[in-house]
Amino acid sequence: MLVNRWVKRLVPFMAMMMLFLTGCNFELAGALEPKGPVAEKQLEMILLSLGIMGVVLLVVFVLFFWAIARFRRKPGQNEIPEQIEGNHKLEATWTIIPIVLLLIIAIPTVALTFDLEEEAQATEGDGTLVIKVAAKQFWWEFNYPEDGIVTAQEVYIPVGEKVVFELAATDVQHSFWVPELGGKKDTNVGTKNINHLYLEADYPGIYKGKCAELCGAGHALMDFKVHALEQADYDAWKADMLEPAAVTAETELGAELFGTNCISCHAIEPNGLSWGPNLNGFADRDFIGGFRVNNTENLVGWIKDPTSKDYGKPGVTMPGFEGVLSDDEINEIVKYLQSLN
């Protein structure tokens, strides 16, 4: 029956359409919400290639669905259809048109790829801010050699200025990615493979960074943040970092305990490189370990066991201090850390 036949055809089709539409009702974010010129140009290329490929998809789908709807074998139809060998004109058409479409995509691809590479070759000599990134299992070290500042997990940049990140890893391969500001580049192990990545933020804000190369158990939680500040605020941040907080009577015991237990891995001088993250300015960081909210409870939990399910993350090489230090001692250290601003 006619209705029956159309129901059988439409229902699966509608089900499929519903599935495709499930992708269409969420907020834009990441690469789809560019906050800087690099990400914007990359989104343009994404949309250009999507648009052209969308046309191809449309043509294929129209022909395809027409063919399967129109040429079904009818009951009683027994004569052999004409055995068509091919058609040279059609072959030429669907060879040449795709080549043309690909040219339209290829030319801006080449241009943008060279452009981004050229921008990334800028050095401090040109007045460009170059920040050295050292990726480690499972955190990020940021070194401003010109300014004498070493920090971790949260990197600060000025708005509207070109920044070149010099990328390297010390243990395994990682990849440095801030989707809202631009695409990623790998942090390679080995001095011959140091990479340079050009990024720029158009607006002040805090941008999420992620590790984008499987690097072990802690890969999923190796988040970092990019703080883009207006020039004045950025300069203020730098000045702040260069004036570490003084130890007070309140924090004296904590500082002492820190010196005995923590300083072998965690530097607190403004330009100190250490095995673990530099904790200068730690009190101003939003997160512990890249993703745990920086509050007292989480900090105590982290220090007790940085690999715990509730307060830590897997794969962390920092030892836990539960049982090594008393609760009071840990609280003193926490008080000290919360004074580092």
Partner 1 sequence: MAHAHAHAHTKRYSGFMDWITTVDHKKIGILYLVAGGFFFLVAGLEAILIRLQLAYPMNGFLDAQSFNELVTMHGTTMLFLAALPILFGFFNYIIPLQIGARDVAFPFLNSLGFWTFFFGGVLLNLGFFTGNVPDSGWTAYPPLSTEFSPGQGMDFYSIGLQLAGIGTLVGGINFIVTIVNMRAPGMTMMRMPLFTWTAFITSILIVFAFSAFAVGLLMMTFDRLFGGNFFDPSTGGNVVLWQHIFWLFGHPEVYILILPAFGIISEIIPTFSRKRLFGYTSMVFATALIGFLGFMVWAHHMFTVGMGAVANTLFAIATMLIAVPTGIKIFNWIFTMWKGQITFNTANLFAVGFIPSFTIGGVTGVMLAVAAADYQYQDTYFVVAHFHYVIVGGTVHGIFAAFFYWFPKMFGKKLNEVLGKLTFWLFLIGFNLTFFIQHWLGLIGMPRRVYTYLDGQTGWNEMNYISTVGAIAMGVATIILLINVIITVRKPKDAPDDVWEDGRTLEWAVSSPPPEYNFKQTPLVRGLDGWWLEKRAGKTAMTPAEPVGPIHMPNGSILPLIMSIGLFIAGLGIMYHQTLVAIGGFGILVVCMILRSLIDDPGYHIEPEQLEGKGVKA
Cα 293 to Cα 158, 221, 296, distances in angstroms: 24, 13, 9
H/E run at residue 99: helix 88-120
Structure-block tokens of residue 325: 């230090």
In the complex, minimum distance from the CB of residue 228 to partner 1, in angstroms, rounded to a whole number: 17
d(C-alpha 176, C-alpha 180), whole Å: 13
We find the least distance from the C-beta atom of residue 38 to partner 1, in angstroms, to be 9
Q: Shortest approach of partner 1 to residue 106 CB, angstroms?
A: 6
Q: What are phi and psi of 27, to 5 degrees?
A: -65, 150
Residue from 277, 263, 116, 290 nearest 206 by CA: 290
> Which of 193/326 has CB closer to partner 1?
193
* Residue with smaller CB distance to partner 1, 173 or 294: 173
Shortest distance in whole angstroms from residue 201 CB to partner 1: 16
Amino acid at residue number 26: F
Q: Is the CB of 54 or the CB of 319 nearer to partner 1?
A: 54
Considering beta carbons, is residue 176 or 336 the nearer one to partner 1? 176
Give whichever of 93 and 260 is closer to partner 1, judged by the CB atom. 93
CB of residue 330 vs partner 1: minimum separation in angstroms? 24
Residues ≥6 apart with Cβ < 8 Å to 109:
45
Tokens coding 114: 């060279």
Nearest one of 301, 279, 334, 269 to 154, comparing CA atoms: 279
Q: How far is the CB of 182 from partner 1 (least distance, A)?
A: 7
State the number of CA atoms in the 13 A half-sphere of 188 facing the CB.
9
Q: How many CB atoms lie within 10 A of CB 174?
A: 31
d(CA 278, CA 113): 35
> What is the rounded distance in angstroms from the CA atom of residue 25 to the CA atom of residue 127?
43
Is the Cβ of residue 68 or residue 236 nearer to partner 1 in the bound state? 68
Minimum distance between the CB of residue 199 and partner 1, rounded to whole angstroms? Answer: 11
Nearer Cβ to partner 1 (158/209):
209
